[in-house]
Amino acid sequence: MKLLALAVVIVFATVFGACAPGANNTPECKRLQEHIFRISPESRSRLEGLSEVEQQNQIDQLVAKVPVEDIEQCTAAEPAVIACMQKAADIAAVRACIPPPKKG
């Protein structure tokens, strides 16, 4: 479980670059978190063989443990970046959606 939590934190920390203090978990960010858990090799193996209801319960538990800082970073992300990530088939494709850092 610690490996999974660490992997998710790394993915979310890598994926989102800005913070919006006090942000709430928007429906788009919750869907993105669920999607990342579904395509992450660490959690995908935990979901294999489970019914859709059991999978959703597992994912809901994982999403509930996402640190608030990661949620804030998601809510600050550009909608086009979130949309790109939601279409990604794997974690490498999620990372490819991340725009380069802004200079300045």
What would the two tokens of residue 39 be?
Answer: 């395509």
- Report the candidate in 51, 30, 36, 49 with the shortest Cα–Cα distance to residue 5: 36
pLDDT digits (tens, 9 = 90+) for 53-81: 999 999 999 888 888 888 888 878 888 98
pLDDT digits (tens, 9 = 90+) for 7-63: 555 555 545 443 344 446 788 888 999 999 999 998 888 899 999 999 999 999 988
